[in-house]
Structure 1
Amino acid sequence: MSRDTGPDWSDRAPRENGRPRVIVIGGGVSGMATGVYGQMNGMDTRIFETHVLPGGCCTAWSRKGYIFDYCIEWLIGTGAGNDANRIWRELGALDGKSVRDFDMFNKVVDEHGRSVTFYNDPDRLERHLMEISPADEALIRSFCADLRRFIKIELYPFLKPDPLKSVGEKIKTMLEILPAFRLFWRNAATPMHDFADKFRDPLLKRAFRNIFYQDPECFPLLPYLYNMACAYNNNAGFPQGGSLGLSRSIEERYTALGGILTYRARVDRILVEDGRAVGVELKGGARHYADFVVSAADGYTTIYGMLEGKYKNKTIDTLYDEMLNKPGILFPAVVSAFVGLEGDLDPNDSHSTTYMLSEEEAKQLPGALQASIVVQLRSRYSDGFAPAGRSVIHCTYFSDFNYWRKLRSEDRKRYWAEKKQVGEFVRGFLEKLYPGIGERIELVDVASPATTKRYTGNSNGSILAWKAFSDAEDLANKLVNKGRMQLPGLGGFYMAGQWVGLGGLIRAASSGRFVMQFICKELGREFKAWESGGAAPWHAGKLGHFPQLDKTPSERPAKLRLVDAPVALEQATAV
């Protein structure tokens, strides 16, 4: 099964059954996807995961019966009949699950209480925006007209990497794109900031930047229209069981195919002989050997740690020497504050709202990068996130990783004080929104960017790695298209995950599919994949046990208990 120590792979002799062996580093979505597709294609795969839960950032933790879902806000591919959905079906990620779709993407409220709701329906959105600012009619009608055009388009380039596409497949893709080429080109070439700055209404000028909850800063119009169109088509919903539920379903699919997932196994070094990766060395010195090694772990740690920086080129050095710490290149780190409370909130309230903060309020949020905070009513996303009669709220904001890293390493007392400040701000802010809610709050659980770094190993605590449409995107694409997900001078080794495929869960999953197609090509065999067909209804028991996460520090005064997520996560990994 998946969570024992597994068989002994220290034997380097060829396998009697002739099945190639593949070691995968990292049990996140991309690592498990690599394993699933490897098992489908007649290989014996084994995943080594540092921690005790699958999924990497696609995870959750539990306190006092509350489940704090960390990752998914919307998932591309939840609707039937498209390539993204096909991948999730192949991975078993949606087996037996319902999907919750919302009629709006996000709501934005300014400091004065004015609000705009970004409905997915372009007709409803257009009427709403026109009521707010008739003076901006031209821009409003332009945006909504393009949204209608995107709704009619279904292009999901997630099944096959470009280098492996036949001439016929490339021509087919071109013919599909050609009718909408001008639409794609125009919206890819128009920065959202430039577009938003044209609005006369100050609310719309700020709100459009925050359709994706907070401002990614470098995105053009294209991803906003694409994702809102997916949501309109019920193809960007929230799957039952949430983030950890998605990861557990893929894990179940993987082990059912015969894969081995070993937890509490940290890879320290990739073993190389004669220019070819031959295995891995774990913390503690145990060595395991395979015909191929795939790293679905942090890119910097893989290249400069496990491989000691010996296999790189100008593209890789530019990415990790210049881009990694360049402002605006990595997707920002996030501070999360989960709130567990008695009762529910007004059912008419938006499931997700971005609140613009005053200058004074923003100064109270430690390490904040933008003057805004996102409040999501997570109990509306999926059943089972809170005990009966209770609810979960998730508050987030973009934050400076180095601020938290330095605090934790140099002034631990202040680090804890700043985390307490986050909890106190969230409690006070929610009290302003919902007078009297403070008496109903049972606990507040805070996770900083340092938490993400320690739990996942992601550089700078970034959940999504390189920003799409940034200076790093073309360089990362070269690793897939020109480099074929390999490193120069190193055979038998491939990379998967967000550091080569960029962020987003469907892209993480597709990177596992891509890398196994490259391996099949190297082996001279046809790539195969099929849907899982699992139909058993999903239930919360499939989330499994949350190791030691139900054990909390001592009660704090009154009803507010500030629980520190890093402690919880460290306990989980220290078993």
Structure 2
Amino acid sequence: MADDASTLRKGPDDWSSRERTPGTPPRVIVIGAGVAGLSTGCYAQMSGARTRIFEKHVLPGGCCTAWSRDGYLFDYCIEWLIGTAPGNDAHQVWRELGALDGKTVTNFELFNKVEDESGRSVTFYNDPDRLEAHLLAISPADAPLIRAFTRDLKRFIAIDLYPFLTAPALRSVRERAATLRTVLPAFRLFWRTAATPMHVFADKFQDPLLRRAFRNIFFQDPEGFPLLPYLFNMAAACHLNAGFPQGGSLGLSRSIEERYLGLGGHVTYRARTEKVLVENDRAIGVELRNGKRYFAEHVVSAADGHTTVYGLLGGRYTGPRIDKLYTDLLQRPGTLFPAVVSAFVGLRGDFDPGEAHSTTHLLTEEDGKQLPGALQNSLVVQARSRYCDGFAPAGRSVLHCTYFSDYAYWKELRTRDRKEYRQRKHEVADFVRTFLERRSPGITDRIDLIDVASPATTHRYTGNHNGSILAWKAFSDADDVAARLVGRDRMRLPGLTGFSMAGQWVGMGGLIRAASTGRFAVQYLCRELGLEFRAWESEATEPWHSGKLGHLPQLDRWSAREDTSS
């Protein structure tokens, strides 16, 4: 998207020099062109710094990406995006980053549908009144629990709380007071729903389908989540503030990349950072795999957290919080958000128009055992072509089938025996084909291709530890530790200056959180570099079109018609 020559024409070529050119703005190097890295670059450019982003892949976005096969676009990441409706702080962040420039947004009337083995189903409508009527029709005996849930949902719908503009340690008295005015009247609601695990709440239902369905509102059971995030996200969807942006995942990343380049930044792709250069306990630059060194007054890593701390910095700068996260919690079961297996299905014609855009199918134990590395007996089927135009050639559609899976299972297979690894992926494709045929007889004859990506694929292309897309699981033991890393430690490592971290490994998962950590990191480093933090909304108005996705490389050399992938 940009080459070195374009940067040289715009400013001094002093990135290879230990000292910056006199009279020029401070230099900031960002490691990783995911959403957090691009956000960091955008806000640093707006605040008067000069920046360079080094990315090991050929595309921006990290996990917020897509790839192509035979005219199909396989959108990997976004299922809903907080901040798609105007009038809140989350939306302001996306407008500042240009993420929604010229785009339409698709909103659905339901969050997810859950169907059991016998065909009984629950539809989780975003509208609380419609949801309540639907649930009462399924199980009148569960009326008290149903009404309690929808009553809480209505209370969340009335709350506007999106704290994504100012880093915690820098919030003014006015900002803190505004937050208190929102939180205090609903304190008991927040406390109670944060302290009530979803599985404890769901187990109170008399109807066995409701007991299982509530756990899977978020497509599969994240295990350990309390009620609060379910209510918060369904409330956002009710406000049309959790929609799907035109262009999808890679479209979002490309739009932020376009904004960054328009602000004068530069991205170098196929540039893997091998280490952060440190002198007298101060980060002074980076060294790439090709041996080239680049220098700056500040370095921000928006890459995988474990790789950053123990790889790029050799484990030299840790402390109680870092040790807690990366030597204790990282290995503790249930602390990382599970990895997923994705099976994209290219289909001639449309998927059953009577089906919901997203359905979690609860499987029998026998069926669950047929899914390699599965952690739960369920399969999510999403009609992705309804989310956005351009995901399939004319007259065709795309399904995205996913399930939580064990990274270690796939990593060991791929390391030990590539042939067996590919065979397991064939088994995923075969199961999906058989399952879809069982649900919609005749659909097999319309399948063009099935493309399977494993957790090992995610790790290879993004570097995310254990292939986890969302990193630390919210509301786990890691949540409080990471919050202190952002607030008290100001996203810095003990004993190291001139360096900070951004992204989901410090700010928890979710795209708006990733973007906000870039904003926070720049607010903190502006204090260090003597710059005034500045941000303004993008004024670009050109309508989004698929040409903005750029070149879409295939991830491997295997034929998509052989049901294989990387």
Deviations along 1:476-514, whole A, 9 cap, x unmatched? 111111110000000000000000000000000000000
Residues 239-254 of structure 1: pairs in structure 2 closer than 5 A:
239-254=245-260
Corresponding residue for residue 536 of structure 1 = 542
Q: Alpha-carbon deviation of 1:148?
A: 0.7
Q: 2:69, 2:560 within 8 Å by CA — same for their partners in 1?
A: no
Aligned-partner SS, 1:315: helix
Aligned-partner SS, 1:563: coil
Q: Does 1:563 align with 2:558?
A: no
Distance 1:387 1:166 in 2: 51
Of 21-30 and 539-548, the range deviating more from structure 2: 539-548
Pick from 343, 349, 356: which aligns with 2:355? 349
Residues 148-163 of structure 1: pairs in structure 2 closer than 5 A:
148-163=154-169
Q: Does 1:300 align with 2:301?
A: no
Corresponding residue for residue 2 of structure 1 = 2
Deviations along 1:2-29, whole A, 9 cap, x unmatched? 3447545112222234300000000000
Deviations along 1:361-409, whole A, 9 cap, x unmatched? 0000000000000000000000000000000000000000000011111
**CA shift in 2, pair 1:301/1:554, >3 Å:** closer
Q: Does 1:332 align with 2:338?
A: yes
Aligned-partner SS, 2:285: strand
Q: Percent identity?
A: 68
Distance 1:101 1:119 in 2: 12
Distance 1:239 1:46 in 2: 27
Deviations along 1:56-82, whole A, 9 cap, x unmatched? 000000000000000000000000000
Pick from 494, 498, 515: which aligns with 2:500? 494
Q: Does 1:83 align with 2:89?
A: yes
Aligned-partner SS, 1:407: helix
Residues 233-272 of structure 1: pairs in structure 2 closer than 5 A:
233-272=239-278
Q: 1:331, 1:462 within 8 Å by CA — same for their partners in 2?
A: yes
Q: Does 1:405 align with 2:401?
A: no
- Runs of at least 5 residues in structure 2 that lack an aligned partner in the other structure: none
Aligned-partner SS, 1:107: strand
Distance 1:130 1:487 in 2: 52
TM-score (normalised: structure 2): 0.97
**CA shift in 2, pair 1:552/1:274, >3 Å:** closer
Corresponding residue for residue 573 of structure 1 = none
Distance 1:246 1:397 in 2: 24
Residues 352-363 of structure 1: pairs in structure 2 closer than 5 A:
352-363=358-369
TM-score (normalised: structure 1): 0.96
Q: 1:158, 1:510 within 8 Å by CA — same for their partners in 2?
A: yes
Residues 176-575 of structure 1: pairs in structure 2 closer than 5 A:
176-548=182-554, 553-554=558-559, 561-564=562-565, 566=566
Of 64-73 and 180-189, the range deviating more from structure 2: 180-189
Corresponding residue for residue 116 of structure 1 = 122
Q: 1:552, 1:563 within 8 Å by CA — same for their partners in 2?
A: no
- Runs of at least 5 residues in structure 1 that lack an aligned partner in the other structure: 567-575
Q: Does 1:42 align with 2:48?
A: yes
**CA shift in 2, pair 1:325/1:3, >3 Å:** farther
Corresponding residue for residue 104 of structure 1 = 110
Q: Alpha-carbon deviation of 1:315?
A: 1.3
Q: 1:2, 1:259 within 8 Å by CA — same for their partners in 2?
A: no
Letter in 2 for 1:314: P
Q: 1:3, 1:263 within 8 Å by CA — same for their partners in 2?
A: no
Tell me the number of residue pairs that the alignment of Structure 1 and Structure 2 aligns. Answer: 560
Of 518-527 and 74-83, the range deviating more from structure 2: 518-527
Corresponding residue for residue 569 of structure 1 = none
Of 299-308 and 339-348, the range deviating more from structure 2: 339-348
Distance 2:221 2:167 in 1: 30
Aligned-partner SS, 2:331: coil
Distance 1:456 1:264 in 2: 12
Corresponding residue for residue 73 of structure 1 = 79
Q: Alpha-carbon deviation of 1:127?
A: 0.3
Distance 2:549 2:512 in 1: 21
Distance 1:164 1:439 in 2: 59
